[in-house]
Structure 1
C-alpha cells in the first residue's frame, strides 16, 4: 500500500519519527520539533526497516516515537537493530485511532455531499496509521513541554 510522499528539502533541525506499529501495516511520520509535518505514509510491515533507513538519509531523525501497544516489544527490538539506531521512546497510544479519525477529517475535509454527513457516518477511505504516528509524536512533544 503506497501513498504519495511529501517532497521537502533536507532539513537541518532535528526531527522525530513517529511509528505506529502493526502486524500487517505500520504508520510512519516525520515531524519537526516545532510540530511541523514533513512526511507521512502507511507502509507494509516488511518494508519498515528499509523505509526508516531511507527516511533517516533524508531527515535528521533524532528519535523514534513509537506506540506502546500492538507488537511494540518486537518492533522495538527490530528497530533497535538498525545501523546507528536512534533512541526509541514508547508513548501511550490509547484512543489514538479515535483521535486519528477526527484528525483525518481536519487534514482532508470532506467534499461534495459527504460534508453534509455527520462525522460519525463518514467512512474514511484509507488506513490512518500514519495519522496515528503523527499524533504519537505530538503526544510526546506535549509531554516534554508540559502541555499533557
Structure 2
C-alpha cells in the first residue's frame, strides 16, 4: 500500500510518500497555497492508495478541501498529531546527523535550518501504521 502523509498548515504543509515496500520514497515541504494543485498529481504519480493527515488545528477544513480535489475513492484518515513536531526534531537529527562543531552542541540546542513539516508527515504515516498493527488490522 502506498501512503501519502500530509501535515497541513496555514503557510506550509509537509508531504511524504511511503512506498509499497515500506520505504519513504519522497518527502517535501510545500506552500499551503500549492497543496490543492500539487497533491492530486503527487497521488497520481506515486499511485497513492491512502492519505493520512494530522487531526489538529485546521484538519477539518483541509479534509473537506482535499475531498474535493482527490479521487473520490481515495480514503483520508485522520491521525493524532500531538507532540509530532517535537518528535520530528529528534527524527531530523537521526536523518541528518550534525557534522563538525555542530555535533558537539547538545541536540536540544541545535538550530534546524529548514522546516520539518515533511518529517512530521513521515511520522504521521508511522503513527497510522502502528495504530493499524495494534488493532490487528495490519
Equivalent residue for 1:73? 60
Structure 1 segments (4+ residues) deviating >6 Å? none
> In structure 1, how many angstroms separate the alpha carbons of the residues matched to 2:14 and 2:27?
7
Equivalent residue for 1:116? 104
The 5 A counterparts of 1:4-19 are 14-19=1-6
For residues 88-144 of structure 1, give each alpha carbon's deviation from its aligned partner in whole angstroms, at most 9, with x where no partner exists: 100000000000000000000111100011101100000000000000000001111
Confirm whether residue 45 of structure 1 aligns to residue 36 of structure 2. no
User: Is 1:33–1:141's contact at 8 Å kept on the other side of the alignment?
Assistant: no
Shift of the alpha carbon at 1:57?
2.2
User: Is 1:23–1:70's contact at 8 Å kept on the other side of the alignment?
Assistant: no
Unaligned runs of 5+ in 1: 1-13
Residue 145 of structure 1: SS of its match in structure 2?
helix
The 5 A counterparts of 1:19-98 are 19-85=6-72, 86-98=74-86
What count of residue pairs does the alignment treat as equivalent? 134
Equivalent residue for 1:131? 119
Normalised by the length of structure 2, the TM-score is 0.92
Confirm whether residue 107 of structure 1 aligns to residue 95 of structure 2. yes
RMSD between aligned residues: 1.3
Change (3 A) 1:57 1:33: closer
User: Is 1:91–1:136's contact at 8 Å kept on the other side of the alignment?
Assistant: yes
For residues 16-65 of structure 1, give each alpha carbon's deviation from its aligned partner in whole angstroms, at most 9, with x where no partner exists: 00000100100000013553101100000010022212212211111110
Structure richer in helix, relative to its length:
2
Q: Which has the larger displacement, 17-26 or 82-91? A: 82-91
